[in-house]
Amino acid sequence: MGAAMWRFLFSPKGRISRRDWWLKIYFGSLAIVTLGLAVDLLLLKREAPGPASDVALLLVIWPVIAAYIKRLHDVGRSGWWFLAAVLVDLLCIGAIYFGSRHFDPRVAAPYYIGAVGVGFAVNATLLFFMFFVPGQRGVNKYGPDPLMR
């Protein structure tokens, strides 16, 4: 693996285009995770995801995080927005998990729905940036335009 590909996969610095996001990160990660699941289900004859799926997920987690950060850079946003989205998700999951252990679910249902709604809204916004918002033209504070190389 060359230095350029290593930087592309593992460095959160710089910018990547939507095309690179879709082709190299989204579909590449999907293929690796699908391969891990196929190994578990077909070759290892498991009834549920197992060790091959776990290894596949571990292989793609950092490149996907780095790509999210670079896509945010491409649209002129800080990579810290990704961390903010993860924290909102964790708070929503925590609210649902701990709420379900301490409150009657019939009483707390509106709060659960609200927590799920907030988490969905944050993730939908982040994915909208990843998939559909074009990057800033020219150089921005995160680097040169990936389409002008």
When pLDDT is cut at 50, 70 and 90, the band that residue 149 belongs to is low
Tens of pLDDT, residue by residue over 21-46, are 888 887 888 888 888 888 888 888 77
CB 149 within 8 A of CB 29: no
Q: Given this model, what pLDDT does residue 6 score?
A: 81
pTM of the model: 0.77
- Which residue, chain included where needed, has tokens 């609210």? 95
What b/e sequence results for 59-70 when a residue is b if at least 16 CB atoms lie within 10 Å of its CB, and e otherwise? ebeebbbbbbbb
Does residue 143 sit in helix, strand or coil? Answer: strand
Residue pair 22/77 in contact by the 8 Å Cβ criterion: no
Mean pLDDT, the chain, as a whole number? 83
pLDDT digit string (tens) for 115-137? Answer: 788 888 888 888 887 788 888 89
Distance of CA 38 to the CA centre of its chain: 22
